[in-house]
Amino acid sequence: MGNQPKKVNQILKDLPATSRIQRRAAKMAAATLETPPQIAFQHSVLCQTSLPYRDPGPEVRVWEREQGAISLLVEAGRTRHPETQEWVQLGLPCGPKPRLILAHLNAEALKTGSPEIEVEASLTGFIKRIQKFSPNGHQVRAYKEQLSRLATATIRMAMVTEKHTFQINSQIVSAFDLLIKNEHQRVLWSSVLHLSQDYFASLQKHAVPLDEMALSGLAHSTLALDIYAWLAQRLHRIPRGKPQFVAWAALKDQFGAGLSQMNNFKRKFRFALDQVLAFYPRAKVVGDDGGLTLRNSPPPISKKRFCA
């Protein structure tokens, strides 16, 4: 169909009929194609590397990922308990929620041109848009728990070129007000937080625009979110007429954390990729037994739209 978006029936036909998740994703993708997108953003380093897919446990305090010239190192943080005056150890940010939160915080900061973000109302509204219904107290707390992990973690991002290495050593969030209820160690946030100046300056240069509706439809799958962000930052940079091939071994190294068997990884990756392509139908991606062939494709959000 060239560069034309797929119709609803075609999207549904292309996905396995037995998959309720994929059929639901296809229906949401159809709505995405018919609705002007709300734009979210992710830092290009986090489009090429990733946070943990699941909680590695309190004993794991450092997470490292590397992809080509890009390196990411995340160290779990601590926060001061307002009543006991002790430092409370928090875990690593993990799963879909910190990815979604970051996409939201990035968008708010870039929209206003300020690293200061009104969190309470904007985050609740964002969760509502992502879930398609008003979140209950438990769901909001789950997001804020991941926000607390994200805010206290130290993030090191490095980009290596032929001439030099550029590295950022920073916390994404530099300042916030934090309260902890004594009975359950629950984290409560005030209404404002500040992105660090280093991260904000880097984000302004390296932000990748994403369709918020696609994030909503893929929010159940950490792997699908990572594949979508990866394709969003990569496909439009591939030279026309010069497709790039990525072998399954390289894909597993990038996306297969925690999966030891290649067959298991391929099955999970293909399942997630089918969902991603429902929301990014103009992505020119073809898979075979050797890996994926990527061709130049329009980004999910055009530069004209997010610069307007």
- The pair of three-digit structure tokens given for residue 164, joined into one six-digit string: 């030099």
Beta-bridge mates of residue 179: 188
pLDDT tens by residue, 221-277? 999 999 999 999 999 999 999 999 999 999 999 998 877 799 999 999 999 999 999
Q: What is the spatial distance between Cα 269 and Cα 286, in angstroms, rounded to a whole number?
A: 13
Distance CA 107, CA 119 (A): 12
163 has a pLDDT exceeding 80: no
Which residue in the block uniquely carries the two structure tokens 């968008």? 107
Q: Per-residue pLDDT tens for 203-233?
A: 999 999 999 999 999 999 999 999 999 999 9
Q: What is the mean pLDDT of the chain?
A: 83
27, with CB counted inside 10 A (0-12, 13-18, 19+), is: middle
pLDDT of 4 above 60: no
Burial of 300 (0-12, 13-18, 19+ CB in 10 A): buried
| Banded model confidence at residue 190, pLDDT cuts 50, 70, 90 | low
- Return the residue matching tokens 């030891």: 260
Q: What tokens does 182 get?
A: 């004594």
Residue 16 pLDDT exceeds 70: no
Closest by CA to 138, choosing from 150, 130, 153, 127, is 127
Model pTM? 0.83
pLDDT tens readout for residues 58-97: 999 999 998 888 999 999 999 877 677 889 899 999 999 9
